[in-house]
């Protein structure tokens, strides 16, 4: 549909519209929109392929058809489809607003639509950015992927998408210039058809002028009366212009038929080409799915898509040229037919009508006819020279237009380079001022910023081409007026070699008018170009604002991660101080006895032992349940296989099928075996997934119980020492600890338990010699055997809780062996 749209509009507007340039420039805007759509679709396809390769690199043990891969890829594909569908709906709504007869669309409507198109495309681009940014969180939250792997995938994806954006940018520049060449070609073809249409009108005017001159000569000689001359001249005018009307009518109708037939053929060829290209892309993706060279794959895939776009463009251009040539051939045929009719009119007038009306001989009438034809030939010669001058002026105008387009393209490139350097300088200055970020974080921020910047600049480059087109559309009326003045000047200058004073004055006045209009056009072009460039800069600032927001969010996330890492390292440094502070507080407390320590440690071991035992029992029970379900499912499948009438018939056929070929029976048995094997593998895979889910739930329950045991141990140890955590905070700060004393600091609890074991042994030796009297504790002797070792390794640093103890219930203790004035609170 897109390929045939150009030819139909060109034929329609090129033949029947007053303002041909506006229609062709409007077609150029549509070509730019189609180019953006094609490159956007290619970017989406390359994004999915790059993501697939990144997933294969991230999880090399998996296969590309694994369920995990399919879920991730299907999620991203669905998101891209929703984005594209939403964009197409918005673009269609914009196109429908104010749509009516295409010939009545104003330039203001075109500018409004292009501005709305740009806003919608920028919004779509931002939505794609957000989708890319959400992949890392999506992998961590939905698929429990580690943060490091998800971050590595995001960086690899960003790096390869930057390379893809570079390929798309080069392709966009190439196709933008190609679209400009095609626009120039449309103007050339339309002008050719216009000249062919005007040729018959010039022929008619010249022949009628020659006939009028011959009849005027007869009237002067008295051979023909004035009334007879007017009647004959009126008849000739009517006959000639009716033939011109018939020419135009047949030209329109036959031209429409030719274009319609060309569009049908072109649509059929485009459909076949599109299907073939889709199959080619599918084969390429299947062949290079497991390639070890991602860069080579992207280059090869892009080259295939580029070649396919060029093939579609060539097919469309071929259809346009073919339709134009068919119309030109039709015009020539109708022109020759009209010339034959004109010759018949002349023959009838001079060889039949004039001899009857004037009484002149055939020889005299034949001489008059030859004289009229010579006069018409002279007039046609002047007309041909004028048309040649017109064509030369048109070619000069085409060269000037092309030069203007190239200058605008160069200015757009300079603007994009300036914007890129400016943004890169700002982001580097910001990162240098921040400092402290890791090299990996800095590299990730720079890569993300580069990707967004490349995408934004590519969109602005296409918008700049549209701005240039709108500028040319605004200046179209002025350029047409200036071109008409130049053609009139060329006509006046070539009308006669000898000019009188009055004619020279008129010619000089016309030259001054041409120069004045040219200067006015140049000034107005500069103003319009400046106005639209300011609009482009405003849009560039809006895109830069979006880019800055995304970059600020990335920097904020990096700073947050850096702060968390710094805090984690600080907690790791405070771990030993925390453990030492808690041990010293328990050692210095007179309330801690060997019996209390023994009960605390034994209770801790017992609680953990119960948790482990319950975990093992639950795991065993769930595994037995799953095993029972698998057994029941297996028995059910076997029963279904035995009761299958197809298999029974096949077994019975083993006796009765004496006439059946052996290889068919073997093939049936093989198919049945493969089907059973597939069902068995699926059932085993389903069972393994169930076991994995059950074990994850049980491990989560065990982790919760271990955290509860840890929290209880720390709390009871502080309570046994009669030293609340709030008071320990002050003592810990005196020993070099900073901040609140919290159990959230990474504490190796197993080491702390062993320290308490050693503390209990020391208490058994030294406390009796100090003569302390414990008011609230039972002084039981330490057992004669050491504490058993912990039944499992110490808890991980992830098992951390924030514990606070209140100092409201702290008892008062008085020592009997020291000065009564000494009190501990």
- What tokens were used for 447? 């890569």
> 244-248, 415-419, 470-474, 486-490: lowest mean pLDDT where?
486-490
Summarize the confidence of residues 681-701 as an average pLDDT.
77
Rounded CA-CA distance 368/358 in Å is 13
Is the pLDDT assigned to residue 15 strictly greater than 70?
no
Mean pLDDT of the chain: 76
List, in order, residues 6 or more apart from 503 with CB less than 8 Å away: 492, 496
DSSP element (H, E) containing 808: none
Is residue 209 within 8 A of residue 382, CB to CB? The reply is no
Rounded CA-CA distance 387/392 in Å is 9
Is the pLDDT assigned to residue 267 strictly greater than 70?
yes
Rounded CA-CA distance 25/7 in Å is 14
Is the pLDDT assigned to residue 212 strictly greater than 80?
yes
pLDDT digits 0-9 by tens, 604-663: 888 888 889 888 988 888 888 888 887 887 777 777 766 654 444 444 444 444 445 666
List, in order, residues 6 or more apart from 185 with CB less than 8 Å away: 317, 320
DSSP annotation of 64: T
pLDDT band for position 505 (cuts 50, 70, 90)? confident
CB 705: neighbour CB atoms within 10 A? 16
pLDDT digits 0-9 by tens, 512-548: 888 888 888 888 888 888 888 888 888 888 888 898 8
Domains of the chain, by residue range, sit at: 2-566, 589-642+672-824
Is the pLDDT assigned to residue 149 strictly greater than 60?
yes
- What tokens were used for 309? 């776009």
- What integer pLDDT is reported at residue 643 of this predicted model? 60
- What tokens were used for 287? 């062949």
Distances from the Cα of 285 to the Cα of 45, 302, 304, 443, angstroms = 10, 12, 11, 30
pLDDT digits 0-9 by tens, 286-339: 776 555 577 777 888 888 888 888 888 888 888 888 888 888 888 889 999 999
State what percent of residues in the chain have pLDDT above 90: 13
Comparing CA positions, the residue from 189, 199, 185 lying closest to residue 332 is 199
Is residue 165 within 8 A of residue 454, CB to CB? The reply is yes
């Amino acid at each position: 549909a897109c390929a045939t749209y150009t030819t139909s509009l060109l034929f329609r507007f090129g033949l029947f519209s007053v303002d041909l340039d506006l229609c062709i420039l409007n077609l150029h805007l549509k070509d730019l929109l189609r180019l953006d759509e094609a490159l956007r679709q290619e970017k989406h396809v390359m994004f999915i392929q790059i993501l697939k390769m990144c997933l294969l690199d991230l999880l090399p043990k998996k296969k590309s058809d694994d369920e995990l891969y399919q879920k991730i890829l299907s999620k991203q594909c669905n998101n891209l489809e929703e984005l594209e569908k939403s964009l197409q709906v918005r673009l269609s709504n914009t196109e429908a607003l104010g749509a009516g007869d295409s010939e009545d669309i104003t330039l203001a409507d075109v500018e409004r639509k292009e501005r709305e198109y740009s806003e919608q495309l920028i919004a779509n681009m931002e939505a794609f950015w957000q989708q890319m940014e959400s992949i890392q969180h999506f992998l961590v939250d939905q698929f429990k992927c580690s943060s490091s792997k998800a971050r590595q995938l995001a960086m690899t994806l960003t790096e390869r998408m930057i390379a893809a954006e570079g390929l798309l940018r080069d392709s966009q520049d190439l196709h933008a210039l190609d679209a400009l060449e095609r626009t120039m070609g449309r103007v050339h073809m339309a002008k050719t058809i216009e000249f062919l249409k005007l040729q018959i009108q010039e022929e008619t005017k010249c022949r009628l002028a020659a006939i009028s001159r011959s009849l005027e000569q007869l009237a002067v000689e008295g051979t023909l009366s004035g009334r007879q001359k007017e009647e004959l001249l009126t008849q000739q005018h009517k006959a000639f212009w009716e033939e011109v009307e018939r020419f135009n009518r047949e030209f329109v109708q036959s031209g429409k038929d030719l274009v319609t037939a060309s569009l049908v053929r072109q649509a059929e060829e485009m459909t076949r080409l599109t299907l073939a290209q889709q199959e080619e892309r599918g084969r390429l993706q299947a062949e290079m799915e497991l390639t070890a060279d991602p860069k080579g794959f992207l280059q090869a895939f892009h080259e295939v898509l580029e070649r396919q776009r060029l093939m579609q463009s060539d097919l469309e251009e071929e259809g346009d040229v073919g339709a134009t040539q068919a119309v030109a051939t039709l015009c020539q045929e109708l022109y020759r037919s009209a010339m034959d009719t004109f010759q018949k009119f002349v023959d009838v007038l001079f060889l039949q009508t004039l001899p009857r009306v004037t009484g002149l001989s055939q020889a005299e009438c034949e001489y008059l006819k030859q004289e009229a034809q010579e006069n018409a030939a002279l007039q046609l010669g002047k007309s041909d020279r004028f048309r040649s001058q017109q064509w030369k002026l048109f070619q000069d105008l085409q060269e000037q237009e092309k030069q203007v387009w190239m200058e605008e393209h160069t200015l757009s490139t300079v603007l994009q380079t300036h914007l890129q350097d400016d943004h890169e300088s700002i982001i580097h200055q910001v990162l240098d001022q921040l400092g402290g970020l890791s090299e990996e974080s800095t590299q990730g921020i720079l890569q993300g910023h580069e990707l967004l910047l490349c995408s934004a600049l590519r969109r602005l480059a296409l918008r700049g081409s549209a701005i240039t087109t709108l500028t040319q559309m605004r200046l179209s009326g002025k350029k047409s007026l200036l071109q008409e003045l130049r053609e009139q000047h060329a006509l006046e200058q070539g009308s006669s070699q000898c000019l009188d004073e009055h004619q020279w004055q008129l010619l000089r006045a016309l030259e001054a008018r041409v120069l004045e209009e040219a200067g006015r056009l140049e000034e107005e072009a500069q103003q319009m170009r400046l106005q639209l460039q300011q609009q482009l800069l405003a849009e560039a600032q809006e895109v830069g604002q979006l880019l800055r927001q995304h970059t600020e969010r990335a920097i904020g996330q990096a700073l947050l991660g850096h702060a968390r890492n710094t805090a984690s390292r600080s907690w790791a440094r405070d771990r030993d101080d925390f453990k030492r502070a808690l041990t010293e507080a328990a050692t210095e407390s007179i309330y801690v006895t060997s019996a209390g320590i023994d009960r605390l440690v034994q209770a801790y071991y017992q609680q953990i032992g119960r948790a482990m035992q319950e975990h093992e029992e639950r795991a065993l029970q769930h595994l037995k349940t799953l095993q029972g379900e698998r057994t029941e499912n297996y028995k059910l499948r076997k029963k279904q296989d035995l009761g299958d009438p197809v298999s029974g018939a096949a077994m019975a056929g083993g006796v009765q099928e004496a006439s059946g070929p052996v290889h068919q029976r073997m093939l049936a048995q093989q198919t049945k075996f493969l089907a059973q094997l597939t069902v068995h593998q699926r059932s085993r895979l389903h069972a393994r997934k169930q076991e994995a889910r059950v074990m994850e739930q049980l491990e989560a329950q065990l982790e919760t119980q271990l955290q509860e045991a840890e929290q209880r141990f720390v709390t009871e140890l502080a309570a046994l020492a009669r030293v609340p955590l709030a008071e320990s905070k002050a003592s810990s700060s005196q020993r070099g600890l900073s901040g609140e004393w919290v159990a959230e600091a990474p504490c190796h609890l197993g080491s702390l338990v062993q320290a308490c074991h050693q503390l209990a042994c020391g208490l058994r030796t030294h406390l009796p010699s100090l003569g302390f009297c414990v008011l609230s504790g039972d002084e039981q002797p330490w057992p004669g055997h050491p504490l058993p070792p912990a039944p499992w390794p110490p808890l991980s640093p992830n098992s951390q809780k924030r514990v606070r103890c209140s100092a409201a219930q702290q008892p008062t203790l008085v020592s009997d062996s020291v000065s009564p004035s000494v009190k501990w609170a």
